[in-house]
Chain A
Amino acid sequence: MREKVVIVEDDPAALRLVTFTLESAGYKVIPAVNGFDGLRKAQEEQPDLLVLDLMLPGIDGYEICHRLRSNSAGSGSQVPILMLTAKSQQSDRTMAGQVGVDLYLSKPVSPEEITAAVHSLLSQRQEEHA
């Protein structure tokens, strides 16, 4: 079965880019365009991975991570999270680490890097579960 990736991104061009890139790489993509939509889909769709923008309308990327990770009974609490954001300050990275982001990439990121990052996070997860 194809691995499922929820993408939370409010910029339509960036959303189209990462959707196309990951679909071409064989993943099933579920897009979300704001924080609330993203949190709901991350909980309901039981994705194998979450690609998350930081600045989002509604609730931001940090808050989504925090809510997912702190809800131990929730379905998506251990899902690998890739943060893909235009923010580049060290303080943002540190904060991301604290709320449970597995990998933080600063835009611009090439499609090849995105695919490689998703692939690497998913294989790490498989090894842990093996």
Chain B
Amino acid sequence: MSEKTVSVLLIEDNPGDARLIQETLTQVGGGRFDLECADRLATGVERLTREPIDVVLLDLSLPDSQGLDTVRRVLEGAPAVAVVVLTGTDDNVLAAEALHVGAQDYLVKGSCDGDILARTLRHAVERGRLVRELKQRNEELDACIYTVSHELRTPLHSIWGFVRLLLAGKVQDEETQQEFLGIIDCECAHLAALVGDFLDVSKIEACRMEMRKEPLSLDELATKTVAAFKAVADEKALTIDTDLPADLPPVEGDSERLGQVLANLVSNAIKFSGDGGTIMVRARVEGPELVVSVQDQGIGIATEALPHLFERFYQVDSSGTRWRGGTGLGLYISRQIVEAHGSRIWVDSNVGEGSTFSFALPMHPSGTEDIRNDKAA
């Protein structure tokens, strides 16, 4: 990682200092520093706006700028660049202030050798990258918190409203009371699902969702999932069929998380199917992988929605179906789980003709062995 060429822009008006730094970096850098020079701040800033530079090595006393203003003006021109101050003033207070306005480091001319200079430049680039990444994550988190609060408000609004009506005795008719209690029950379940999904997403994004790597039988996993959804499918007179070859080799992965993916796909297939259709759960060996697919004969997905299906909080327009209550996170979570297994998930769909969601899984090493032996035999 540290062997990558680092582009350095030296802003220094003293030709002697500039030459010395150039020679030093050539000696220690072994060609891994790509150095350009500017003798005025204005020229340097202009250069920065043209093409990205990794790190600026900046003198603080320039003909057209003095002191900390020099750092500020570089960062105004190129907010993403790492800045290392290299100046003649050995002053701890000034050094602290330079870091405060955004410099990554502060070096004093004559007091650092080539190796330290090279290392400082590399570290400044890496620190700058990490700071940018953190800032971006923070912005994403803010946006995420807003979306989460928005998603939670909707079921909360209904629960609170119906409870108020019931408490105030506004609902006289017993049948309507039961209907409202039923809605409250559904909205509570929806809230619980949202909270569960949000937790999964937060684990995924903090990279804390650990995947176990264990040999597992997809046959078993699929059979279990299908059985769990039988009651829900029966309500819509849907049949769930499986096509699982008897000699399926074991795959490697986390059975709980992969079960979650499969359950999500089957549950979606049920939601988007009309009454009386068939849902097929298949598994087959394709090259070094095992491909699992869930096919429905439901409403299908519009072409323009396909690229967004696996995005966070994306929900297809479900008006005109009886379904509601998705969190917009199921497929996003599924994709993260499958990708954490080093694999991929995809969809084929046509409006009115149903959808097929598939994911591939690496086979367990012993399973691959078995197949090779079978073929050789």
> A13 to B164, Cβ gap below 8 A?
no
Quick one: which of B156-177 are within 8 Å of A by CB?
156-158, 160-162, 164-165, 170-171, 176
Contact of B153 among A20, A34, A88 (CB under 8 A): A88
Distance, CA A38 to CA B183, complexed state (A):
24
A86 interface residue per 8 A CB criterion? yes
B150 close to chain A: CB less than 8 A: yes
Which residues B131-164 have CB closer than 8 A to chain A? 146, 149-151, 153-158, 160-162, 164
B150 and A87 form a contact (CB under 8 A): yes
- Closest CB of chain B to A37's CB: distance in Å? 8
What string of 1s and 0s marks CB contacts (under 8 Å) between A100-130 and chain B?
0000001111111010000000000000000
The answer to whether B170 touches A107, judged by C-beta atoms less than 8 angstroms apart, is no
Contacting residues, chain B, for A11 (C-beta < 8 A): 154, 158, 324
Asked if B157 and A86 sit within 8 Å, CB to CB, the answer is yes
Say how far B160's CB is from chain A's closest CB, in angstroms.
Answer: 5
- Residues of A within 8 A of B (CB-CB), count: 27
Cβ of A57 < 8 Å from any Cβ of B?
yes
Which chain B residue lies CB-closest to A84?
Answer: B157
A40 within 8 A of B: no
Q: A106–B164 contact, CB under 8 A?
A: no
| B223 CB → nearest A CB, Å | 34
* A88-B153, A111-B165 known; A13+B170 contact, CB < 8 A: no
A105 CB to closest chain B CB (Å) equals 10
The minimal Cβ–Cβ distance linking A32 to chain B, given in whole angstroms, is: 10
| Contact between A108 and B317, CB atoms less than 8 A apart | no
A110 to B167, CA, bound (A): 12
Which of chain A's residues has its CB closest to B172's CB? A24
Query: Nearest Cβ in chain B — how far from A96, in angstroms?
Result: 15
CA distance A14 to B151 in the complex (A): 13
Whether B324 lies near A108 (C-beta < 8 A) is no
Size range of the interface on B?
Answer: 20 to 34
Interface residues as binary, A5-22 with B (CB distance below 8 Å gives 1, 0 otherwise): 000001111101110110
A33 at interface, CB cutoff 8 A = yes
A97 interfacial contact with B, CB 8 Å: no
Q: Is A26 an interface residue (CB 8 A)?
A: no
B156, B161, B319, B324 interface centre (most CB from chain A within 10 Å)? B161
Distance, CA A109 to CA B158, complexed state (A) = 9
Asked whether, in the complex, the Cβ of B154 is within 8 Å of the Cβ of A14, the reply is yes
Does B186 sit at the interface, judged by CB under 8 A? yes
How distant is the Cα of A11 from the Cα of B186 in the complex, in angstroms? 13
Once the chains bind, are A112 and B164 in contact (CB under 8 Å)?
A: yes
The contact string, 1 if C-beta is below 8 Å from chain B, for chain A 70-99, is 000000000000000011110000000000
- The reply to whether A108 and B319 form a contact with Cβ atoms under 8 Å apart is no
**Shortest distance from the beta carbon of A14 to any chain B beta carbon, whole Å:** 5
Whether B146 lies near A89 (C-beta < 8 A) is yes
Q: What are the residues of chain A within 8 A of B162 when measuring CB–CB? A: 13, 17
Which of chain B's residues have a CB closer than 8 A to the CB of A34?
319-320
B187 touches A (CB below 8 Å): yes
Q: How far, in angstroms, from A55 to B11 measured CA to CA in the complex?
A: 52
- Who on chain A is nearest to B176 by CB? A20
- Cα of A108 to Cα of B155 in the assembled complex, Å: 9
Residues of A41-56 contacting chain B, CB below 8 A:
none
- What chain B residues lie within 8 Å of A106 (beta carbons)? 153
In addition to A13-B155, A107-B156, A111-B170, 13 A-B residue pairs with Cβ atoms within 8 Å of each other are A11-B154, A11-B158, A14-B154, A18-B161, A21-B165, A57-B318, A58-B317, A58-B319, A107-B157, A108-B156, A109-B157, A110-B160, A114-B161
Which residues from chain B sit less than 8 Å from chain A, CB to CB? 146, 149-151, 153-158, 160-162, 164-165, 170-171, 176, 183, 186-187, 317-320, 324
Can you list 22 residue pairs at the A/B interface with Cβ under 8 Å?
A: A10-B319, A11-B158, A12-B324, A13-B186, A14-B154, A14-B158, A17-B157, A17-B162, A17-B165, A20-B171, A20-B176, A33-B319, A34-B319, A107-B156, A108-B156, A109-B157, A109-B161, A110-B160, A110-B161, A111-B161, A111-B164, A114-B161
| 3 cross-chain pairs, A with B, having the tightest CB-CB distances, nearest first | A107-B157, A13-B158, A108-B157
